[in-house]
Amino acid sequence: MQTVLADRYVLEQEIARGAVGVVWRALDRVTGDRVAVKILRPELRGEAEIFESFRAEAGILRTIDLPGVVGVKDFIVTDAVCAVVLEFIEGPDLRERLRLHGPLPAAEAALRCASAAETLAAIHRAGYRHGDVKPGNLMLWGESGVKFVDFGIARAAASKTAPSHGTPEYIAPEVASGDSASTGVDSYALGLVLYEALTGHSAYRGGSITDVVERHVTRIPVKPAAVDAGLWRLVEMLLALDPGARGDLDAVAAELRRLAPRLPTSATAPIEPELRERDATASYSYDPVTPHAPQIGQGALGAMLAAESAPADGDAKGRRGLLVLGAACALVLIAAAISVVVVFTGTDAPNGDDVADPSDEASTSAPADDESEDGPTEPATEDGATPGDDASASDDPESETDTPAPDSDNLSESEDAGDDSTEGTTDANTPGSDLIGSPMPDN
């Protein structure tokens, strides 16, 4: 037996079910047109706030007469039923399209999101914000357009109060943090819709509702390799933490339409979402004020000094760095001392007869650290050189223990690679489109 509302609308088939209402495809006996009838759930008739929101939706839709917003045809309130009669849109919503067929081609995604951005900009100028922008509330219309449906939690744009319910996957960070809402919540959600249209996956789905909500504040999607760089700049701008940094929606729409002609017209395979920390520290890059001299920048000593240019990792590494630098300086001084001995004692030195006894010179010019703890320095030989001078730089046990090789791990440990992780999970394990404050999983 068929159900007829107001002796006019014949309910034919249920086509959608949400937290507040059930949507039917129906026939208008008067005009012969197909219509959509959204009926408030009977158990919610006694909830004053929900009833008022339902009635307000019809009023808002009557006020906003835009091509990108589903039109209102009638509003029915009786003792038995409360319903709003809407324009019927052939075809699926964006959520169903992505579920059945995967991502949209990038060119189509850009054009449909441009249509959504233009409509949202017009809704904001009319004095409202939608508050629940998501693929399930965007009906595909024509080759490249969309129509917004479900204004059940729409608010006046000037209102700072957040809606009492919304879809966790698409709420803005400021709402998740308990701050006041603005039209920027629609811009943020549009960024997530664009991401989902390009990848076939919701960016923040997975885990409990609390986990999903917290993720908006702390994490942001990583650019997939297959996504155009120009499109990704718009996604990141729309997902900015600061609502004021999300850009003008008319400008966003214009940029999407400018990009569309050069974007691929075939879709990619679905792309699993990957998230990174919003406040991830960039890798540290050392850039000295004064460049190293060419002769220092080469060889073992240059390598040790270059290693010490990296930031210290704890006090122990800092002390080790000082020992390396001190040992390097000692090597320089030893080399200088040896060169002095060679110059003044070599057989080819000019005026060799006028030079003082080199043994005294050598014994006083060497650093104190070079002396052996087992006894005094051995006497000089006849040619003025002391035994062991040739091996002093390599055989000294202190040089071996206190001068470690440059540690390449120091450089890699100073870099912060971030904490990227894949957060996406299958739809079956997620709260999906659960509404905050509502147990409905099928919206």
**pLDDT in tens for each of the 443 residues of the chain?**
789 999 999 999 999 888 788 999 999 999 999 999 999 998 888 888 888 888 888 888 888 889 999 999 999 988 889 999 999 998 899 999 999 999 999 999 999 999 999 999 999 999 999 989 999 999 999 999 999 988 766 666 666 665 545 689 999 999 888 887 889 999 999 999 999 999 999 999 998 999 999 999 999 999 999 999 999 999 999 999 999 999 999 999 999 999 999 999 999 999 999 999 997 433 333 333 434 344 434 444 444 444 444 444 444 444 445 444 455 555 555 555 554 444 444 444 344 443 334 334 333 334 444 444 444 444 444 444 444 444 444 444 444 444 444 333 332 233 333 333 333 333 333 333 333 333 333 43
Domain 94-280+423-429 class in CATH: mainly alpha
3-state secondary structure of 61: helix
pLDDT of residue 335: 54
3-state secondary structure of 145: strand
Please tell me the chain's helix, strand, coil percentages from 3-state DSSP, rounded to the nearest 5: 40, 15, 45
Cα-Cα-Cα-Cα dihedral of 244, 247, 249, 250, to 10°? 130
pLDDT of residue 91: 85
- Per the DSSP assignment, residues forming a β-bridge with 421 are 275
Burial 270-285 (b: 16+ CB within 10 A, else e): ebebbbeeeeeeeeee
User: Is residue 36 within 8 Å of 25, Cβ to Cβ?
Assistant: yes
CATH assignment, 3-87: 3.30.200.20
Tell me whether residue 119 is exposed, middle or buried, using C-beta atoms within 10 angstroms of its C-beta: 0 to 12, 13 to 18, 19 or more. Answer: buried
Q: Where in the chain is the domain with CATH 1.10.510.10?
A: 94-280+423-429
- Per the DSSP assignment, residues forming a β-bridge with 82 are 77
Q: Where in the chain is the domain with CATH 3.30.200.20?
A: 3-87
pLDDT of residue 360: 41
pLDDT of residue 329: 52
pLDDT of residue 151: 79
pLDDT of residue 109: 98
- Per the DSSP assignment, residues forming a β-bridge with 285 are none
